């Protein structure tokens, strides 16, 4: 009898000698049983063995194509449709949820899976080949630029294309009426201010830490610096409840929470990053058509809070 064991998607991929993307696809099609532990997907070893036994009789097709990137591996099974090969898109903005919906129904589209990671972790996952699309809004305090300096450092030797999705306003969330009279970054020096922070690796956390570095302020000296939450809405809600005097986030989240005011601080760029070697993969033609379409742009405009003037523009190539 098999001793049951809980496996991560990567461990399943290692056992089956397939990519992690394929494992996610099998889970989504319910061909491989899985379950969630918190936000993480897990699979029992017994279910992996059952999956292997179930597919032993399937006849493999040896495929050769001048475009081998169309397939996850050189051997696929007859019951696996081409359109089911997923892309994994990493980032936290609602724009990406809408993009996935459009991608799923586009004639050239594929199913897309979402990885809700902050900017730094998304780019690192792209470097590791764990995702095919990453998004970022990382401000470099030395150059004053967004994203490009980080991409060049974090993806050494890997040619990429950086595409603008939107510009957004970052700022301070403060209690209604701004009772502490908070105005700008210099107020972070005050001992009577308690902040609430984003998680390490998020673009907002990088923005704060870069400004603290330039101002020669230690985060450890700030009240509330070690308290972390994983979304703009969570930060805004905590400020509204009085759990902190100041939080940092985008203006859009402020519009969804009562009891707070927003102090504009800095306009940021939110960009999509893809490897040039991946652009020929299924789904990328659809992505580029979608982000240049009037329908997609119109839906984003309806959400409010985004400057879409440069939507779809290639900002840089590395």
pLDDT tens digits along 288-302: 999 999 999 999 999
Structure confidence at residue 2 (pLDDT): 47
Any long-range contacts for 179-184 (C-beta under 8 Å, 24+ apart)?
A: 180/245, 180/246, 182/245, 182/246, 182/263, 183/263, 184/263, 184/265
5-9, 37-41, 132-136, 183-187: lowest mean pLDDT where?
A: 37-41
On whether residue 89 sits in a domain, the answer given is: yes
Which of 23, 48, 82 terminates a domain? The answer is 82
Same domain, 226 and 242: yes
Across residues 93-121, what is the average pLDDT? Answer: 92
CATH of the domain at 154: 3.40.190.10
Helix pair 119-128, 203-214: axis angle to 10 deg: 110
Torsion of CA 300, 303, 306, 311, to 10 degrees: 0
pLDDT tens-digit profile of 225-276? 999 998 999 999 999 999 999 999 999 888 888 999 999 999 999 999 999 9
- Of the candidates 168, 175, 172, 49, the residue with the CA atom closest to the CA atom of residue 119: 168
Check whether 22 has a pLDDT greater than 90: no
Q: Which of 246, 268, 290 is the last residue of a domain?
A: 268
Q: Domain check: are 11 and 65 in the same one? A: yes
262 and 276 fall within a common domain = no
Q: Do 117 and 60 belong to one domain? A: no
Number of domains in the chain: 3
Same domain assignment for residues 186 and 56: no
Confidence of residue 113 (pLDDT cuts 50, 70, 90): very high
Angle separating helix axes 20-28 and 9-16, nearest 10 degrees:
110
Tokens 């939110």, residue?
A: 270
State whether 155 and 289 are in the same domain: yes
Domain shared by 258 and 185, yes or no: yes
Co-location of 36 and 185 in the same domain? no
Distance (Å, rounded) from C-alpha 274 to C-alpha 102?
18
Cα gap 242→239, rounded to integer Å: 5
> What domain range is 206 assigned to?
169-268
| 182 and 196 both lie in a single domain | yes
Whether 123 and 114 have beta carbons less than 8 Å apart is answered as no
pTM above the 0.95 mark?
Answer: no
């Amino acid at each position: 009898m098999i001793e049951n064991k809980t496996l991560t998607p990567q461990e399943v991929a290692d056992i089956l000698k397939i990519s992690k993307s394929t494992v996610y696809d099998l889970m989504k099609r319910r061909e491989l049983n899985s379950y969630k532990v918190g936000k993480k997907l897990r699979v029992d070893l017994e279910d992996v063995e059952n999956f292997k036994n179930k597919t032993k009789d399937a006849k493999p097709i040896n495929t050769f194509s001048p475009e081998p990137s169309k397939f996850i591996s050189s051997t696929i099974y007859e019951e696996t449709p081409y359109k089911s090969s997923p892309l994994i898109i990493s980032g936290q903005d609602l724009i990406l949820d809408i993009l996935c919906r459009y991608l799923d129904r586009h004639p050239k589209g594929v199913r897309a899976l979402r990885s809700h990671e902050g900017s730094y972790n998304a780019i690192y996952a792209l470097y590791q080949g764990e995702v095919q699309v990453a998004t970022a809004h990382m401000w470099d305090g030395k150059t004053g630029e967004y994203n490009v300096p980080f991409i060049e450092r974090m993806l050494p030797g890997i040619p990429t294309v950086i595409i603008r999705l939107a510009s957004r306003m970052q700022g301070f969330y403060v209690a209604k009426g701004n009772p502490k009279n908070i105005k700008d970054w210099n107020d972070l020096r005050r001992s009577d201010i308690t902040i609430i922070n984003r998680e390490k690796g998020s673009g907002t956390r990088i923005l704060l830490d870069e400004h603290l570095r330039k101002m020669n302020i230690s985060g450890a000296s700030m009240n509330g610096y070690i308290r972390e939450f994983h979304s703009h809405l969570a930060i805004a809600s905590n400020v509204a409840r009085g759990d902190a005097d100041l939080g940092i986030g985008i203006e859009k989240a402020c519009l969804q929470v009562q009891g707070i005011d927003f102090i504009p601080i800095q306009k940021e760029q939110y960009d999509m990053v893809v490897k040039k070697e991946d652009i020929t993969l299924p789904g990328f033609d659809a992505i580029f058509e979608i982000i240049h379409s009037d329908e997609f742009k119109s839906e984003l405009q309806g959400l409010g809070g985004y400057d879409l003037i440069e939507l779809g523009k290639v900002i840089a190539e590395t």
